[in-house]
Structure 1
Amino acid sequence: MRPNLLKRAQSSTNRQGPLSHLLHSRANSPHPQADTVSGLKAIEEETLPKYNADSFYPARLGEVLNDRYKVVLKLGFGMTATVWLAQDIRANAKAGQPTYVTVKINVNTLTNDFLSGRREIAERLQTANPNHPGYKHVRFMLDTFRIKSKHGEHLCIVYDVLREPIDLCMEKFPGRRFNSEKLRKLLPALLLGLDYMHSECRVVHTDLKADNIMMGLGDPSVLERFVQRELEHPSPRKMPDNHGRIIYTSCSDFGEAPSDAVIESAKITDIGLAQWGDVRNTKPIQSNAFMAPEVILQCGWSYPADIWNLGVMLWDLFENFGLFDGIDTRPGHYRPEQHLGLMISLLGPPPKEFLKRGAKTTSYFDAQGQLKNAECLSEDLTFESSISRLRGEEKELFIDFAKKMLKWVPEERWTAEQLLEHPYLTKEREYIPTPALSRTSTETFGSILPSRTGTPGPTSSPLSASLHLPKDVEKSASRNSPTESTDTSLENTTSVPSTYNTTTLPYQLKKRDTSLSESSKPPVPQSNKCSQELIDSILNRGKANANKAAETK
């Protein structure tokens, strides 16, 4: 897996890693003392590029923030924040039992312009339509406040407590990846969340990845056990540095592997880079490995960029390698032409009409639509070769499902609503265990790929959520079409699914009903008819085999 933006340590019951030789022995005591880490070793946020201790708030365990939230332990950290588990002491007084929340303490360098740009999006996500089935699959803030440190003011955002992100949850599964059965339980939650963001809120997430998806707690006692374990075995920490900050190590391991019900409760988190989808967007978004072709070529992007992002992410969840691991994502090493070469290997050459949209097309393609750097092309990457854990009908359905998301032309990708009806998710099948990952199963595809040592994204400052809007703030505004400046000839030649309203946006989404009925299933885009024929043949083949088996009995 790619290194996460939000770094996390394993639980205190399993901390025998690179830090173990730096820790002093814990004395036998009825009141356990935390191990201390050598001051010579950089840990946690200290390891971040351009780390500045003055930017981070010097939080301490036991500190009460805003006269309400008592800091219990550190959950993680990122480029612009540290994240803490806290006890809501006001809720404790009213309910007679501890209530825990997550508090994100941002650095003091976020600008007011950046924060103001987040407010309307955060308000829209929280209020657009609470009755939509995807509403419960997007994480919202509970409270916001500001605290002061010696070097400035820090915005704090309060959330409900969720389990580990799915990249850590996978560590508890056999093979450390989702099998096909568990993946089919996770994906509907993500698609419902995306459908809510896209169709109800008109918001593009722009940064979907495994560490931005978290699961619910399930059994409430999980949290109590988590807190008790930390009290009995406190996380190691470094003593105060010359800035007076104690650097605590993170703890975010909630124990046993999540149940199917917990997987189905997954939520999309971290909307700090989210953007409106109904405006003209051309600036860079997405981590390098997830970057959609319209983003690379600056064709203008909207909701389909999230769909591409999810399609690429499937391999991170299911296989031992990423779909585009052939590219080097390290800072200063990423080459867009190499990425485009792999896309051509996988999808075939891009349509010329699509290339005409790109402001940067001529940097990578010649006048005939051929990639200028032919050495970046490869015949090794195919959908068939990239799936090592599935066979037969299940593999065909999975590949067709992925192909609905991974298309050159954004308008030809299926929407989240349409993907919820794909047979990979809806077809009933007998339980067949997914083969475990092994070295031999991935050698052919994975051995030639460079190790993913980093997946840098755009140079924007992330923020998981923002301040509440005042009630009198206007909740909606008219916006220009993101493709108003597009050549009109492209509009006449591009096949657009009938779900979209082309009079306002090439990817305008209709409002989604709170339930899908057989009569209201989304239509199949014209561009996907050949794929639908594949699905029909698979389903018909299964029915024929079942009838044949019944006749022989």
Structure 2
Amino acid sequence: MRPNLLKRAHSHNKQTLNNLLHSRGTSPHPQPETISGHKQIEEETLPKYNPDHWYPVRLGEVLHHRYEIVVKLGFGMTATVWLARDLQADGNAGNRKYVTVKINVNTLGEEFQKGRREIAQKLFSANPKHPGYSHVRFMLDTFKVKGKHGDHLCIVYDVLREPIDLCMEKFPGRRFSCPKLRILLPALLQGLDYMHSECHVVHTDLKADNIMMGLGDPNILDHFVQNQIDHPAPRKAPDGHGRVIYTSCSDFGEPPNEAVIASAKITDIGLAAWGDEKNTKPIQSNAFMAPEVILQAGWSYPADIWNLGVMLWDLFEHFGLFDRIDTKPGHYHPEQHLGLMIALMGPPPKDFLKRCAKASIYFDSDGQFKHPEYIEDHTFESSIVRLKGEEKEMFIDFAKKMIAWVPEERWTAKQLLEHPFLTKEKEFFSATPSLSRASTASISSMIPSRAVTPGIPPSSSPNSGPNSSPKSVPNTTLLPPRLLELVPSVSSTECESSTNCEETKTEKLATNNEKSTSRTSLSLRPKMESLVESNNEPDVEVPNSKRLSVNKANKCSQDIIDAILSKGKNHNHRVSPEAK
């Protein structure tokens, strides 16, 4: 949870002699404004806040004989987070002389702490050579501080920027553009692939609050700290428990550039769990809750994939995919959530319902939903208003690979890295013929079906046979080589004439020689940004193609193949063998 913006307020309490001696007029340093003691702020606003459970941190305090508290960065349900100066670091180490210290409440049990340590150690040591290793945040140190009412576990991390939901407030439109999204998502998917395939860990709480980016500027923290000295944040005077409630500040200045976005990391493993164990306990925030969690079918790695799919709307659109449900404590109704899922995906398969311990609460013996009044007019097509044409279709197809009833039908993080939405340049959408939704389904059918998820037996996947294995489905080639060869480039002139390619910058597209032939999304990210109005053309519903078997996937539409081949004849550009 991140703090809301706070209105500064002066205290009306009578000033003490000490306050008068240190007023702004006589002190060489600016004094912070004092917030009224009658106003609840920061962690005080949490529903189960008890001051006896929270450590009374003070600015300037040195913890563990090493970490000097400098600024409060934020707070959550069970901890406050602080920027600290590492007194053992080199004074000329730039950003590295600072760390983040998370100070937990004193109610965490020893068993919980042991579980966190084991998962943290696994994440740190499993495979440092994996490309996703650098996209997961690790702890640097742990220690305990003694409070009046018990010990508080403290965890030390490297310093990252503010969470991405705050970072994107600095973007045009306050949302990620498609080009920026194609930079961010590969980092998150690589991090998830590392957690799932190498560490066998499920994050369980993936959302924008728990994703952060690197700092970029090597001196950004020095500037940040100096700004806090010159303009100290408001705070409340010590309460009866001796706690000073500081307001949080985590704004590190300029909007993150492409390199900073590409450095994004998955953070906060406080609720992470082992993926190979039998898991049925409730997880995830209400708006992100996967169907297998609501219906108690048992969950594992695909729950994180569902989270990522739902989060796309929070990053790209101005509303969430399930914003229609009330997620406040005591107001959340699972049947309303399930009704919106049915509107999006159709009714759940009966075989899936048979696995769900709570299915009978919401569905009858024939699989009919007991609360049809909650099935609203809610489709993937109507939920995307910033894209149109082929790019909109590709985005929706990408999302549908994550948002599916049956967990085993969702794509793995590794497979999603190869989806055309991430790997195809923006020019692809303008250079290829206009595609209907049926054609998009045909393209989707050419993409390999989901590989076996770690920890889930191959037999549980609908596309798996008795001889299936995790290596039985290739992840490296999305389209047949002859189609890959014929995906043409487009000049800036062609782009300007296309109705699906509206530039928001005046810079021209890079030349064909400058374009990378790498299959990674960072190399293929578009060279321009687009903000496209909603598509006025009527949407056409087609059968969900993600449930096709591998054999059916080979029966792709000859029309779309011929169309791409025909278009390709007009272009001389070919991708290199490495791109295949």
TM-score band w.r.t. shorter chain: 0.7 to 0.9
Shift of 1:418: 0.3
The aligned counterpart of 1:66 is: 64
Which of the numbers 267, 273, 276 marks the counterpart of 2:274?
A: 276
Structure 1 or 2, whichever has the larger Rg, is 2
Match of 2:360, as an amino acid? T
CA deviation string 1:320-364 (max 9, x = no partner) = 111111211111111111111111110111111111000000110
Aligned partner of residue 366 in structure 2, secondary structure: coil
Residues 425-504 of structure 1 correspond to what in structure 2 (within 5 A)?
Answer: 425-430=422-427, 495-496=462-463
Match of 2:74, as an amino acid? G
Which of the numbers 148, 152, 172 marks the counterpart of 1:150?
A: 148
> Is the CA contact (8 Å cut-off) linking 2:33 and 2:234 kept in structure 1?
yes
| Pairing 1:390–2:357 present | no
> Is the CA contact (8 Å cut-off) linking 2:276 and 2:300 kept in structure 1?
yes
> Is the CA contact (8 Å cut-off) linking 1:190 and 1:267 kept in structure 2?
yes
Which of the numbers 418, 424, 437 marks the counterpart of 1:421?
A: 418
Structure 1 vs Structure 2 CA RMSD:
3.3
Shift of 1:239: 1.2
Q: Would you say how many aligned residue pairs link Structure 1 and Structure 2?
A: 476
Residues 210-359 of structure 1 correspond to what in structure 2 (within 5 A)?
Answer: 210-359=208-357
Identity in percent: 66
Q: Residues of 2 paired with 1:537 and 1:162: CA distance?
A: 49
> Is the CA contact (8 Å cut-off) linking 2:195 and 2:201 kept in structure 1?
yes
Q: Residues of 1 paired with 2:558 and 2:119: CA distance?
A: 40
Q: Residues of 2 paired with 1:535 and 1:168: CA distance?
A: 43
Q: Residues of 1 paired with 2:562 and 2:232: CA distance?
A: 58
Q: Residues of 2 paired with 1:396 and 1:531: CA distance?
A: 18
CA deviation string 1:165-212 (max 9, x = no partner) = 001001101111111111110000000000000000001100000000
Q: Residues of 1 paired with 2:316 and 2:554: CA distance?
A: 24
Range with bigger deviation, 28-37 or 222-231: 28-37
Q: Residues of 2 paired with 1:151 and 1:327: CA distance?
A: 39
The aligned counterpart of 1:6 is: 2
Shift of 1:240: 1.0
Residues 87-106 of structure 1 correspond to what in structure 2 (within 5 A)?
Answer: 87-92=85-90, 99-106=97-104
Change (3 A) 1:537 1:45: farther
Change (3 A) 1:528 1:297: farther
> Is the CA contact (8 Å cut-off) linking 1:412 and 1:527 kept in structure 2?
no
> Is the CA contact (8 Å cut-off) linking 1:162 and 1:215 kept in structure 2?
yes
| Pairing 1:180–2:178 present | yes
The aligned counterpart of 2:536 is: none
Match of 1:384, as an amino acid? E
> Is the CA contact (8 Å cut-off) linking 1:26 and 1:35 kept in structure 2?
no
The aligned counterpart of 1:364 is: 362
Aligned partner of residue 101 in structure 2, secondary structure: strand
Match of 1:312, as an amino acid? V
Change (3 A) 1:432 1:40: farther
> Is the CA contact (8 Å cut-off) linking 2:204 and 2:304 kept in structure 1?
yes
Match of 1:119, as an amino acid? R
The aligned counterpart of 2:8 is: 19
Aligned partner of residue 82 in structure 1, secondary structure: strand
Q: Residues of 1 paired with 2:565 and 2:9: CA distance?
A: 58
Shift of 1:429: 2.0
The aligned counterpart of 2:407 is: 410
> Is the CA contact (8 Å cut-off) linking 2:10 and 2:33 kept in structure 1?
no
Shift of 1:7: 2.3
Match of 1:297, as an amino acid? L
> Is the CA contact (8 Å cut-off) linking 1:144 and 1:155 kept in structure 2?
yes
Q: Residues of 2 paired with 1:56 and 1:536: CA distance?
A: 65
Q: TM-score of the superposition, structure 2-length normalised?
A: 0.76
Shift of 1:6: 3.2
Shift of 1:393: 1.1
Q: Residues of 1 paired with 2:472 and 2:120: CA distance?
A: 19
The aligned counterpart of 1:452 is: none
Range with bigger deviation, 223-232 or 97-106: 97-106
> Is the CA contact (8 Å cut-off) linking 1:300 and 1:483 kept in structure 2?
no
Aligned partner of residue 282 in structure 1, secondary structure: coil
Q: Residues of 1 paired with 2:74 and 2:169: CA distance?
A: 17
Match of 2:462, as an amino acid? S
> Is the CA contact (8 Å cut-off) linking 2:94 and 2:218 kept in structure 1?
no
Match of 1:111, as an amino acid? G
Match of 1:495, as an amino acid? P
> Is the CA contact (8 Å cut-off) linking 1:23 and 1:36 kept in structure 2?
no
Shift of 1:222: 1.6
Shift of 1:150: 1.5
> Is the CA contact (8 Å cut-off) linking 1:411 and 1:496 kept in structure 2?
no
> Is the CA contact (8 Å cut-off) linking 1:87 and 1:98 kept in structure 2?
no
> Is the CA contact (8 Å cut-off) linking 2:190 and 2:413 kept in structure 1?
yes
> Is the CA contact (8 Å cut-off) linking 1:165 and 1:211 kept in structure 2?
yes
Aligned partner of residue 73 in structure 1, secondary structure: strand
Shift of 1:496: 3.4
RCO comparison, higher one (Cα < 8 Å, 6+): 1
> Is the CA contact (8 Å cut-off) linking 1:414 and 1:525 kept in structure 2?
no
> Is the CA contact (8 Å cut-off) linking 1:8 and 1:75 kept in structure 2?
no
Moved over 4 A (4+): 20-30, 93-98, 481-484, 500-503, 509-513, 515-519, 524-551
Shift of 1:527: 4.5
